[in-house]
């Protein structure tokens, strides 16, 4: 999309995060039923939180809100990573069984970091513009 504002569905990070959710659900099917209300539920919630927060941040329409929700999504990615590691340590799944999930999670995390840097850059640029305008107005006598 060139001039039109992107929706969350246009973001590669959201699309890959949605695939990550699907992969997470597939992996959690391997966990024992005794973990249905604990680790399975937590992994699914963490995974689902990632694209949900990307969508909400983009849907809010402001860079500051977008940055907040990207930070939440990054936190959810860290939660999921921890939960996958726990599932491996408890021997519910093997490293081979989570290889694709690990790969997708790392790629999603990289994309989220990139989006976060872009939002931070845009906020800094906006702040610099405000300061420049203030100094210009002050120098011109508009603000006395």
SS3 of 2-52:
CCCCCCHHHCHHHHHHHHHHHHHHHHHCCCCHHHCCCHHHHHHHHHHHHHH
Report the pLDDT value the prediction gives residue 106, as an integer from 0 to 100: 98
Give this prediction's pTM.
0.84
- Residue 136, pLDDT > 70, answer no
- Residue 3, pLDDT > 70, answer no
Q: What is the pLDDT of residues 10-32, one digit of tens each?
A: 999 999 999 999 999 999 999 99
Task: Quote the CA–CA distance of 100 and 53 in Å, as a whole number.
Answer: 22
Q: What is the pLDDT of residues 30-81, one digit of tens each?
A: 999 999 999 999 999 999 999 999 999 999 888 888 999 999 999 999 999 9
Q: 124 falls in which pLDDT band (50, 70, 90)? A: confident
Give the right CATH number for 8-140 from 3.40.50.1820, 1.10.150.120, 1.20.1440.60, 3.40.50.300. 1.20.1440.60
């Amino acid at each position: 999309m060139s001039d039109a504002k992107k929706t969350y569905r246009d973001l590669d990070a959201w699309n890959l995060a949605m695939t990550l959710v699907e992969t997470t659900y597939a992996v959690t099917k391997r966990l024992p039923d005794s973990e249905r209300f604990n680790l399975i539920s937590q992994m699914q919630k963490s995974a689902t939180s990632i694209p949900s927060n990307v969508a909400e941040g983009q849907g809010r329409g402001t860079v500051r809100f977008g940055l907040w929700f990207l930070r939440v999504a990054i936190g959810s990615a860290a939660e999921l990573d921890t939960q996958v590691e726990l599932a491996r340590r408890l021997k519910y799944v093997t490293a081979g069984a989570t290889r694709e999930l690990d790969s997708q999670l790392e790629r999603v995390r990289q994309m989220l970091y990139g989006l976060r840097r872009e939002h931070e850059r845009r906020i800094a640029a906006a702040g610099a513009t405000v300061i420049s305008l203030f100094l210009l107005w002050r120098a011109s006598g508009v603000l006395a």
